[in-house]
Amino acid sequence: MSAVKTASPLQIVFKLVLKWWWLMLIAVALGAGVGYLIRTSQPNLYFARATIWFGGDVENTIANVDAFEQINALVTIYSGLARRENILEPVINRLNLGISVPQLQERMYTSADLTLPLMEIVVADTDPVRAAEIANAIAQQLIENSPTERESEETAFKRQQLRDLASQIQTLNTQYETDVAAGADLTNAFQIAQNLQQRNATLATIRELQSLYAELSMGLGSSVNSLVLYDAATAENALVVQGSAMSIILSGVAGLAVSIATIVLIAFLDDRLQWHEGLEFVHGVKVLGPLGVIPRNKLPLYIETMPDTIESEMLRQLRAKLVLAAGGEPPRLVTVTSYDSGDGKTVTSANLALASARSGLRTLLIDGDIRKGDIHEVFRLPNVMGLTDIVSSRENVDLLLSRALLESGYDNLTVLTSGRSTADPSALVSSPRFAAVIESLKMRFDTVIMDSVPTIGGPDSAFMAELSDGVVIVIHGQRTTEKSFKRTLQTIQQGRNVNIFGMVFNRIPLQVTSSYSKPYYRRTLTISPDKLSKELLSAGKKRSLVAFNRNVMVDKNGDRLYSMAAAALQLGITEKGLRYWLDSGQLTSERRGLRRWVRESEIGLLLEKLPRYESAQNGMTEQSVKSDGLRTPNGSHAGSLPLGAREALLASARTAPDDKPEVADDQQT
């Protein structure tokens, strides 16, 4: 039965953000950039406002409640009437605007203040003077067409004067704009001064006429329902709206929204298998965990080039999981496959075999990718005779294996290359001789790792899976789709009694996941055993050869001295524990320069004093097992720690009356 443990929405969002952060950043930058370019390419908008007063007698209007309510109703009504065609069409014709009524309606709005008998007409335009003219013209046209206005001869005369003043103001505004344009081309100082004086005089006249226009408008009508231009619009008081940071921010937010929608769409259409913590099964196949992204300069044998990293530890954990999957014993034959070449099966096979060899098992790595295998390139070996040559030959299998099995250059690890035979690969792996060769190899080694042909290359992996204890499927963490994974399962399961150990997700960035961002549970040594061994070999040689020896030195008498880190490594304790033994007098040290050193002979004497386990059979004390690099004062080698010896030494150290050293949780018994 297929079971897939899905990720939580928060995990999905977090993973999408980590994966597509660059797209979101680009979208925000593009949105903000486009918004900035569009806004800077557009002229500034000016908003001119003309205010109409309802009711000529303020005192009577305020005292008469009914009149005030009537005025409020009229304000609401006239706010709608100001946008009607019979009001706006004459304004367009009078000012020669060259636009339609709907276009003018888009550039204006009206608002009513119900707490005061006022109505505002606001017009937007790229020219402040034109915006003020349109606002005043609309207000005047609304007043002239007011059905509540009681006209008299005096009122008609004033209205004619207002129209004349409006015409004069328009003419002067045109003259003012002409003078401004002409002044931009002048170079003579006298002409510039004369032009400026003329412009100032024109502007002063315009202001006087506008003031007179407002006064005449205020004097029109005194009835309760009369309309008066209370505050005429002017170019100087027009509100300018320029490009602001807010418009750029809004454009950036729009870009972010578009990018998020795009990412959601991509995620919805993307059928690639996605790794996330807590994933246990995919289509009934157990998930064995992730494998990391390996730098190119650390490939292919990264378990050798970067052994102390979380990526190498995850590979070692994969080996341990295969042992558990095989019932607690190392599987005799594990086939590693994938859907396509480049998914990482060859690198995984090689490092898995090396990890098995490092655990002490006699391991064989078979290049079963007989179509395009390159295990020999990983270990820098020739490919003269390999698996295909043995299977296609009729000679004795044991004789051919003696020629084909090659040492890898690493302890306990042997390699069988793919070979150079050009025979039909499917015919080779399906032949009885192929099964016989594999069975013979399984008898020679503790465990066999076989790198197979990817399932996209044919059914070869199905025949190999039949002969295996189990199969490991390598999933490319960035490109393997659910469809291709199903095809892989279908291909493998064509074999008889095929056992699938599980699947691993390759090329997963372990350092950005919550569970794999910390160092794995393992003691971190100040100096590695390999480095100490190299320094021991070079100790006592010419000074030029030991210039980088920082942990081993030889005095003039030929005695070796260890640094604190090296002495702690030899005793299998921490430097903190070593300092306690030094302070308690169980070990002595010497100071040379700024560092403390412990003689090798002192370590040997300490080991000789350890209480030994007495055999119940013969009553003898075990004292003579040799240990590398440690000598007693008479030149004999000190024994290595037998079972219980280190615990006895620690128990002896704890009996000292001074403060006890702290013991790590994983060391407590």
Matching residue, tokens 């806004």: 39
- Residue 149 class from Cβ within 10 Å (0-12 exposed, 13-18 middle, 19+ buried)? middle
Closest CA to 499 of 319, 281, 331: 331
Pick the range with the lowest mean pLDDT from 38-42, 78-82, 200-204, 406-410.
38-42
Measure the CA–CA gap between 248 and 260, rounded to whole angstroms.
Answer: 18
pLDDT band at 630 (very low <50, low <70, confident <90, very high): very low
Q: Which two tokens stand for residue 448?
A: 């066999």
The pLDDT > 70 percentage for the chain reads 78
**How does pLDDT run across 634-658, given as a tens digit for each residue?**
333 333 444 444 455 445 444 444 4
Identify the helix (H) or strand (E) that includes residue 631. strand 626-631
Whether 498 is covered by a domain: the verdict is yes
**How does pLDDT run across 492-519, given as a tens digit for each residue?**
999 888 999 999 999 998 875 545 655 5
Contact yes or no for 241/44 (Cβ under 8 A): yes
**In a shared domain, residues 63 and 191:** yes
Where do the DSSP E strands lie in 76-205?
108-113, 118-125
Matching residue, tokens 């009729």: 394
Contact yes or no for 441/448 (Cβ under 8 A): yes
Res. 660: pLDDT tops 70: no
pLDDT band at 11 (very low <50, low <70, confident <90, very high): low
Q: Which two tokens stand for residue 313?
A: 């530890």
Indicate which CATH number applies to the domain containing 404: 3.40.50.300
pLDDT on residue 241: 67
Q: Per-residue pLDDT averaged across 289-315, rounded?
A: 92
Whether 252 is covered by a domain: the verdict is no
Measure the CA–CA gap between 163 and 140, rounded to whole angstroms.
Answer: 9
Which of 90-104, 521-535, 602-616 ranks highest by mean pLDDT?
Answer: 90-104
**In a shared domain, residues 356 and 453:** yes
Give the Cβ contact number of residue 404 at 10 Å: 19
- Dihedrals phi, psi of 107, to nearest 5 degrees: -100, 5
Spatial CB neighbours of 472, under 8 Å, sequence gap ≥ 6: 288, 318, 322, 334, 335, 336, 337, 348, 352, 501, 502, 503, 504
187, 206, 241 — which closes off a domain?
241
Measure the CA–CA gap between 181 and 187, rounded to whole angstroms.
Answer: 13
Matching residue, tokens 């006249």: 205
Measure the CA–CA gap between 492 and 485, rounded to whole angstroms.
Answer: 11
**In a shared domain, residues 444 and 585:** no
Task: Tell me the one-letter amino acid at 91.
Answer: V
Long-range CB pairs of 317-320 (<8 Å, 24+ gap) are: 317/289, 318/288, 318/289, 318/291, 318/352, 318/355, 318/472, 318/504, 319/352, 319/355, 319/356, 319/359
pLDDT on residue 536: 82
CA distances, 315 to each of 36, 242, 309, 335 (Å):
51, 61, 10, 16
Whether 12 is covered by a domain: the verdict is no
**In a shared domain, residues 444 and 547:** no
512, 540, 567 — which closes off a domain?
512
Whether 229 is covered by a domain: the verdict is yes
Contact yes or no for 124/46 (Cβ under 8 A): yes
Identify the helix (H) or strand (E) that includes residue 451. strand 447-451
Q: State the SS3 of 318-355.
A: HHHHHHHHCCCCCCCEEEEEECCCCCCHHHHHHHHHHH
**In a shared domain, residues 494 and 398:** yes
Measure the CA–CA gap between 368 and 465, rounded to whole angstroms.
Answer: 11
**In a shared domain, residues 323 and 351:** yes
Which of 139-153, 497-511, 616-630 ranks highest by mean pLDDT?
Answer: 497-511
**In a shared domain, residues 311 and 195:** no
Q: Which two tokens stand for residue 654?
A: 């704890």
DSSP assignment of 412-438 equals: TEEEE------S-HHHHHTSHHHHHHH
pLDDT on residue 112: 76
Res. 287: pLDDT tops 90: yes
Closest CA to 535 of 561, 556, 558: 561
Domain count for the chain: 3
**In a shared domain, residues 552 and 505:** no
**In a shared domain, residues 341 and 453:** yes
Measure the CA–CA gap between 131 and 138, rounded to whole angstroms.
Answer: 11
Identify the helix (H) or strand (E) that includes residue 207. helix 189-218
Measure the CA–CA gap between 498 and 190, rounded to whole angstroms.
Answer: 103
Q: Per-residue pLDDT averaged across 109-135, rounded?
A: 85
- Dihedrals phi, psi of 526, to nearest 5 degrees: -65, -40
CA torsion angle 190 194 195 197 (round to 10): 140
Which of 21-35, 77-91, 348-362, 613-627 ranks highest by mean pLDDT?
Answer: 348-362
Res. 268: pLDDT tops 90: no
Whether 30 is covered by a domain: the verdict is no
- Residue 659 class from Cβ within 10 Å (0-12 exposed, 13-18 middle, 19+ buried)? exposed
512, 541, 576 — which closes off a domain?
512
**In a shared domain, residues 535 and 455:** no
Measure the CA–CA gap between 418 and 82, rounded to whole angstroms.
Answer: 91
By DSSP bridging, strand 227-231 and strand 590-592 are unpaired
pLDDT on residue 490: 93
**How does pLDDT run across 226-264, given as a tens digit for each residue?**
677 888 888 888 777 655 566 777 788 888 888 888 877
CA distances, 64 to each of 51, 52, 356 (Å):
23, 20, 103
- What mean pLDDT value characterizes the chain? 80
φ/ψ region of 283 (left if φ > 0, alpha if ψ in -120 to 50, else beta) reads left
Measure the CA–CA gap between 533 and 527, rounded to whole angstroms.
Answer: 10
Query: Taking the alpha carbons of 490, 491, 496, 498 in that order, is the dihedral positive or negative?
Result: negative
What range does the domain containing 230 cover? 45-241
Whether 267 is covered by a domain: the verdict is no
Spatial CB neighbours of 227, under 8 Å, sequence gap ≥ 6: 52, 53, 54, 78, 142, 143, 146, 148, 149, 221
**In a shared domain, residues 65 and 115:** yes
Closest CA to 143 of 210, 74, 199, 197: 74
Contact yes or no for 382/333 (Cβ under 8 A): no
| Alpha-carbon radius of gyration of the chain | 46
**How does pLDDT run across 426-439, given as a tens digit for each residue?**
889 999 999 999 99
pLDDT band at 549 (very low <50, low <70, confident <90, very high): low
- Dihedrals phi, psi of 295, to nearest 5 degrees: -60, 145
Res. 407: pLDDT tops 80: yes
**In a shared domain, residues 499 and 605:** no
pLDDT on residue 3: 43
pLDDT band at 298 (very low <50, low <70, confident <90, very high): very high
Measure the CA–CA gap between 108 and 142, rounded to whole angstroms.
Answer: 14
Q: Per-residue pLDDT averaged across 545-564, rounded?
A: 78
The pLDDT > 90 percentage for the chain reads 31
DSSP assignment of 559-603 equals: -EEEEHHHHHHHHTS-HHHHHHHHHTTSS--EEETTEEEEEHHHH
Q: Which two tokens stand for residue 145?
A: 């067409």
Closest CA to 573 of 560, 587, 559: 587
Query: Taking the alpha carbons of 163, 165, 169, 175 in that order, is the dihedral positive or negative?
Result: positive
Whether 422 is covered by a domain: the verdict is yes
